[in-house]
Amino acid sequence: MGFGLLYIIVTVYNHSIHFCFCFQLRHHSLFLSRIFHNMDQLHFFFFPMMAQGHMIPTLDMAKLFASRGVKVTIITTPLNEPIFCKAIQRNKHLGIEIDIRLIKFPAVENDLPEDCERLDLASDDKLPNFFRAAAMMKESLEQLIEECRPNCLVSDMFLPWTTHSAAKFNIPRIVFHGTSYFAQCVGASIRLNKPFKNVSSDSETFVVPNLPHQIKLTRTQLSPNEQSDEELGMSKMIKAVRESDSKSYGAVFNSFNELEPDYVEHYTKVFGIKSWAIGPLSLCNRDIEDKVERGNKSSIDKHECLKWLDSKKPSSIVYVCFGSVIYFTAAQMQELAMGLEASGQDFIWVFRTNNEDWMPEGFEERTRGKGLIIRGWAPQVLILDHESVGAFVTHCGWNSILEGVSAGVPFVTWPVFAEQFFNEKTVTDVMRTGAGVGSMQWRRSGSEGVKSEAIAKAIKRVMVSEEADGFRSRAKAYKEMARQAIEEGGSSYTGLTTLLQDISSYSSTAH
């Protein structure tokens, strides 16, 4: 069968002797980790916020922990179960077992539509209702903790009440922010120093103080919560998040030390919170099916997609995608279409829309062969990993940034809201692997204001200008660092080892 040499391992584990007959397998570290864990196997609960951008990296994280011999249980709601099930089934043949436990989401009780079990399905005015409904899951979560007695709870930043639930059962809660050390450090400096108060207009730039790099922003690029002294609405939620962070056992990051070394160190000094960088999490998806079916079912057949990509030259395609929650006005979509066409580059453009009245007349006919439009959900990791992709036009969501970094692709940055303007600075000012379209206005929905000329200019700058080779070479270097980080002995592999050791020590002294 080609298994190689049979050998015997004798090990002392928790004062008992184990004799193991093992083959030299390609996946030997996974194989051995499955053998060595016994009745003292760690059990982790993973509880993501119910939103695509939070559930997908949490699933990747759960698979990563399970591959290292940890018993894993994902907590979610009934309508979100399908997002996890297919991936979990596919990983069973690798010996990776992941359980799912469901908690009812009280949507109707909080004046939400009955099927509104995802944050990205809630309208802006209903966000407080959604968070209130999530908090009402507390009792159900505690019943599960009491029943299963996990060693640790890894929960989303937007579930701050879980810190109390974990403490009630004397288990550590680790917070998952789903963003970068850099964004956390920038946000903390802005809250503490309020540098935006020192400028005379919304468009005047200010320097964010006390950071390892000179980072400049404008007031228009900050959320209302970051500029407000009041504790209302989301500001109240963000305050609860910060307070629960400080009471948590630590924080886990979808990042790696080599990506932002200055900010890993800065975060530790400023926050004083234990943290572990264990990313890029998307790199746990090595199988084509895993890459295709992350999140929703893809709207395009993978063979059709790969055939189109294979027909193009290396680094010749611009991939354009703005995630699952960005909504542009019709006028902005039209500007984007015109900018893509004016850039002269081949492209894949992913968008979700029921109404395409905004599309310039004849656009699809004129770009046929040069452009591939995907309406709905795209296999993003599969596309980015293809050699024909030369740039990624992105809203700068952290998952997308990490997926682009892992693929070694330069960026055209177009932030819209959340911490995306901070993430843009990571790309343009720290990594220097991309250029911006000049997006200046933080807006939760209905974003607009970026002209087609600026879009075309940024795309050409990253793809074909004198700077393009520099962007590309730096992006390739980060790709190599990312892949080394997750291999045995790499910084993220070691980070996860340390995390598991820390929780094991905590559990042994807590009982």
> Which tens digit of pLDDT belongs to each residue from 273-283?
999 999 999 99
383 close to 312: Cβ distance less than 8 angstroms: no
Structure tokens at 166: 């974990």
Active-site residues, by number, are 54, 156
Q: Are residues 100 and 187 in the same domain?
A: yes
pLDDT at res. 107: 96
Q: Are residues 237 and 270 in the same domain?
A: yes
Q: Are residues 330 and 262 in the same domain?
A: no
Per DSSP bridges, beta strands 16-23 and 6-13 are: antiparallel
Q: Answer yes or no: is 510 within a domain.
A: no
Q: Are residues 447 and 351 in the same domain?
A: yes
6 has pLDDT over 70: no
3-state secondary structure 258-299: CCCHHHHHHHHHHHCCCEEECCCHHHHCCCHHHHHCCCCCCC
Question: Model confidence at 7, in pLDDT bands (50, 70, 90)?
Answer: very low
pLDDT at res. 75: 98
Q: Are residues 201 and 90 in the same domain?
A: yes
Question: Phi and psi dihedrals of 24, rounded to 5?
Answer: -75, 95
The CATH number of the domain holding residue 368 is 3.40.50.2000
Question: Phi and psi dihedrals of 333, rounded to 5?
Answer: -60, -40
Q: Give the distance, in angstroms, between the CA of residue 140 and the centroid of all CA atoms in the same chain.
A: 26
Question: Model confidence at 21, in pLDDT bands (50, 70, 90)?
Answer: very low
What is d(CA 246, CA 134) in angstroms, rounded to the nearest whole number?
21
pLDDT at res. 287: 63
Q: Answer yes or no: is 302 within a domain.
A: yes
Q: Are residues 15 and 152 in the same domain?
A: no
Q: Are residues 414 and 340 in the same domain?
A: yes
Q: Are residues 89 and 123 in the same domain?
A: yes
Express each pLDDT in 242-258 by its tens digit: 899 899 999 999 999 99
Structure tokens at 443: 């807006």
333 close to 452: Cβ distance less than 8 angstroms: no
Helix (H) or strand (E) holding 152: strand 152-156
pLDDT at res. 92: 79
Q: Answer yes or no: is 505 within a domain.
A: no
318-334: average pLDDT:
93
What global pTM score does this model have?
A: 0.89
What is d(CA 496, CA 277) in angstroms, rounded to the nearest whole number?
8
Instruction: Please name which of 112, 110, 117, 114 lies closest in space to residue 82, comparing C-alpha atoms.
Output: 117
pLDDT at res. 239: 83
Instruction: Please name which of 304, 317, 306, 379 lies closest in space to residue 345, comparing C-alpha atoms.
Output: 317
pLDDT at res. 292: 57
Tell me the residue range of the domain where 334 lies.
297-484
398 has pLDDT over 80: yes
324-329: average pLDDT:
88
Express each pLDDT in 220-248 by its tens digit: 999 988 887 765 556 778 888 889 989 99
38 has pLDDT over 60: no
Across-strand partners of 71?
Answer: 43
The CB-side HSE value for 432 (13 A sphere, CA atoms) comes to: 7
Q: Answer yes or no: is 350 within a domain.
A: yes
What is d(CA 328, CA 157) in angstroms, rounded to the nearest whole number?
27
483 close to 475: Cβ distance less than 8 angstroms: no
332 has pLDDT over 90: yes
Query: What's 504's DSSP letter?
Result: H
Q: Answer yes or no: is 63 within a domain.
A: yes
Question: Model confidence at 22, in pLDDT bands (50, 70, 90)?
Answer: very low
Q: Answer yes or no: is 301 within a domain.
A: yes
Q: Are residues 3 and 123 in the same domain?
A: no
pLDDT at res. 445: 86
Question: Model confidence at 297, in pLDDT bands (50, 70, 90)?
Answer: low
**Percent helix / strand / coil, the chain, rounded to 5:** 45, 15, 35
pLDDT at res. 202: 95
Q: Answer yes or no: is 100 within a domain.
A: yes
Radius of gyration of the chain (CA): 23
Q: Are residues 59 and 110 in the same domain?
A: yes
Number of domains in the chain: 3
110 close to 134: Cβ distance less than 8 angstroms: no
pLDDT at res. 32: 43
What is d(CA 413, CA 458) in angstroms, rounded to the nearest whole number?
9
Q: Are residues 174 and 311 in the same domain?
A: no
pLDDT at res. 14: 35
Express each pLDDT in 179-215 by its tens digit: 999 999 999 999 999 999 999 999 999 999 999 999 9
Q: Answer yes or no: is 386 within a domain.
A: yes
